[in-house]
């Protein structure tokens, strides 16, 4: 049979393992050996590796079954360097554990972000834009945040962008929203 031996040894075990494997097989890479071998020779090789094994030793033996099929026969030493099929990772990385955020906090963060993006919708109105173009400071009849709130309410009721602005303009008497406190219940009773 033909076998492939792969070494994933560390520290001093590298030197000891290379000495044993070099006496039984031809080295085909920095940490790989190939050889035709009998079943008795394979048992002897495994015994020699087990005799010199330490915590840093890790050698996998594969049998070539022809074609593209390789079968893991055994692993001597530490099995943590290979998975159950004998596959060895070529690189590993440690990732920082992202801090866990509960669902309620994630929902609150999403709502706060949406509120932050929507609270300036009222600045798109002609009155606010004229105020920006005026060199003199001008007091607002209605704060842009309240207009944003009215816009969002209209949009949530299914109105288009243009219709929402028209309904706010048609509501007239913008001063009725001037001193409205959102916590006193007046806004929810105001007709738009």
Domain that holds residue 149: 116-189
Boundary-marking domain end, from 27, 58, 77: 77
Q: Answer whether residue 87 is part of any domain.
A: no
Global confidence as pTM: 0.48
Whose tokens are 């159950």? That residue is 84
Beta strands (DSSP E) in 70-179 are 70-77
Boundary-marking domain end, from 77, 106, 137: 77
Q: Answer whether residue 97 is part of any domain.
A: no
pLDDT in tens, 116-149: 887 777 777 777 777 888 888 877 777 777 888 8
Q: Answer whether residue 86 is part of any domain.
A: no
Q: Answer whether residue 85 is part of any domain.
A: no
Q: How many domains does the chain have?
A: 2
Rounded to the nearest integer, the mean pLDDT of the chain is 83
Boundary-marking domain end, from 50, 77, 104: 77
Q: Tell me the C-alpha to C-alpha distance, in Å, between residue 13 and each of 10, 32, 124.
A: 6, 15, 72
Burial of 179 (0-12, 13-18, 19+ CB in 10 A): exposed
Q: Answer whether residue 109 is part of any domain.
A: no
Q: Taken in order 73, 79, 84, 86, is the CA torsion positive or negative? A: negative
Whether residue 69 is found in the same domain as residue 121: no
CATH code: domain of residue 25: 3.30.70.240
Q: Answer whether residue 102 is part of any domain.
A: no
Question: Helical H runs in 13-89?
Answer: 13-24, 39-51
Whether residue 70 is found in the same domain as residue 127: no
**Intervals of the chain under pLDDT 50:** 173, 175-192
Whether residue 73 is found in the same domain as residue 131: no
pLDDT at 182: 42
pLDDT in tens, 162-175: 888 888 777 754 54
Burial of 168 (0-12, 13-18, 19+ CB in 10 A): buried
pLDDT at 172: 56
Q: Answer whether residue 162 is part of any domain.
A: yes
Q: Answer whether residue 40 is part of any domain.
A: yes
- Tell me if 42 sits within 8 A of 63, measured CB to CB: no
Rounded Cα gap, residues 6 and 159, in angstroms: 69
């Amino acid at each position: 049979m033909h076998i492939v031996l792969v070494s994933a040894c560390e520290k001093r075990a590298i030197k000891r393992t290379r000495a044993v494997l070099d006496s039984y097989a031809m080295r085909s890479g920095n940490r790989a050996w190939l050889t035709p071998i009998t079943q008795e020779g394979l048992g002897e090789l495994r015994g020699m590796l087990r005799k010199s094994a330490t915590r840093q030793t890790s050698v996998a033996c594969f049998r070539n079954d022809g074609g593209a099929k390789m079968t893991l026969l055994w692993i001597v030493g530490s099995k943590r360097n290979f998975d159950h099929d004998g596959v060895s990772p070529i690189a590993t990385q440690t990732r920082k554990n992202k801090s866990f955020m509960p669902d309620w906090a994630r929902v609150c963060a999403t709502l706060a972000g949406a509120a932050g993006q929507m609270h300036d919708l009222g600045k798109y109105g002609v009155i606010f834009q004229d105020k920006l173009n005026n060199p003199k400071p001008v007091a607002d009849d209605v704060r842009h945040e309240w207009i944003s709130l009215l816009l969002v309410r209209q949009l949530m009721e299914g109105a288009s962008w243009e219709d929402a602005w028209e309904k706010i303009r048609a509501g007239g008497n913008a001063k009725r929203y001037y001193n409205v406190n959102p916590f006193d219940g007046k806004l929810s009773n105001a007709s738009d």
